[in-house]
Structure 1
Amino acid sequence: MFELIAGIGFLGVALVVLLVFGLAAMVLKLGIGLMKGVVGLVLGLVVGGVVLAVLLPIGIILLPLLILLAVGLLILSPFILLLKLVF
């Protein structure tokens, strides 16, 4: 049972990471759209660049690991339950 819950939890975390990326992209677009002109464009790009520079390595490293872990746990959970029932 724990494995199933953990698998769903990891999928949730992966979704949150994707949502954060989506929000960062939206903030960047809104920033450029709202503050027209060179200053707004530069500021939007700098802020968006900093956000992406911080989040991108974390996301690139964590996302595949989280998805693999979640899928692995979801696939293994019935077998683990069977083993618990047998032994």
Structure 2
Amino acid sequence: MDATTLGAVLACVGVLSGSVVAFLGKRGDTAVTRFNSVTDQVQEERNRAAELLATAQAELVALHAQRHEDLVEMTRLQIRIAHLEGDHGDPD
């Protein structure tokens, strides 16, 4: 193999390896971009879920307070009923 042929073969190998490196580099770039996009989406979903959780917790607190008020009112009414029943009972 003479020097010209060897040079041509080395040039072809260099071009092919450069193409492979460029292809892999582009794939790596695409993979990083895709990973960043997915990461952003996951973070947005996490933030929405945190907002929904905070809203649900606030609603639960409000419902718990309302339940407590209802129980107090029910107890007050039961005591009132017991007093009224006592007023209309037998005069004995």
Q: TM-score, normalised by structure 2?
A: 0.39
Q: TM-score, normalised by structure 1?
A: 0.41
Select the structure with the greater relative contact order (CA < 8 A; seq sep ≥ 6).
1
Structure number with greater Rg is 2
